[in-house]
Structure 1
């Protein structure tokens, strides 16, 4: 993982909380999209039991089936969940922990994008939509899974964010503002983990992976001449997500880990 602009830590300095994913149970919010599919597969390959959630039942079922077909022995479950409903998010977290005995991570991949030609062309309706998709789902899932992540000896909350949250452009005001809000919420979760860890440091961690944008094989097929400069392939994103468990909690907690050049 490239964490540009940050001091790196020797892996031998591990505090034991970054013990890998073998035998872990990881929840994935927004599991039905291209990034979700890549993440389900990579987590399963790393030895985790994966519990995916998506609001689209058909898309989620396809992602789960694809993971099982691609990796023999993969333990992956799909739950159709409306993550805009706090009670539904909490019920999902409780069900996953009860059925599997533990929760070692939550990867937040719920996405969405709306933009405009200029700042003054921004439609306020874009904000109302993106606030739901990019902020409220982060709030509901982090609150629902907080206690379970603390009960784990390797709990991780992973948010995928965008470089635009750092340097917004005129036509992306609503999107950048929503991503910035999601990052702020995740930083607050990281501070909670830090405080709850006391002098020994955080046992759980909340990390932010920053991309410019994501690309996958279908996008390349649709636009064979496009360069997608600075974009992160969903497979590389999935690999970076897995690597979060290989690092000590204190190294990743509250940090923005850049997968694209820092602006």
Structure 2
């Protein structure tokens, strides 16, 4: 049902100035071994902007890094917005670059979902509107640093989200009221073998929930928190608005069935 996202909407660390490793803050927790404020380079960031422990992130206590994707915003800001001038060579650009990065990241995330929506056949009646909002949003990503910093991202998100909600309704059909779990607190919930086909799980908190063997076909999973969620043997065939970082945060096994555009995380074994 879905196609792999455009390479432009996937992180390309080789063409980025390590922006997620500098611009974003993180706190010592189960996801990060140490605390780092926004604007300070991570101690693991090397001079060539590559991560010194990339292949050992989980072992070193940086699991949070393995479940993050900038959706291509890093290379867009590095190579386009700032014309390949990195913040080390041009330190006067650093603060502006770090401030613009989260803005472009949000725009690229919206583009990711709209691009997927355009591959969903049940949403075909909305394709003209989706193409229009895609083109509008993409044009915004090419604005200069000043215009990006002043952009009303919340308004853009609201406009796109309204269209994605209509898309979701068309794709899911009429699964029944008991399938509306939007924003639900399902942390640690026992949902083994649950029938969640066509469920609205937008923004649901599924942290450490047991969804082993659950039927999640045609479920809307946009923004669902799948940290430590057990997806062993679950069927996510046709599930949509599901990202690779969400899967990376979950637990699964060889029996977990995934949408064709996503890959089984290596740590699932």
TM-score of the superposed pair, with normalisation by structure 1: 0.28
Flag the structure with larger Rg: 2
Query: Which of the two has greater strand per residue?
Result: 1
Q: Which has the higher contact order (CA 8 A, sep 6+)?
A: 1
Query: Which of the two has greater helix per residue?
Result: 1
TM-score of the superposed pair, with normalisation by structure 2: 0.27
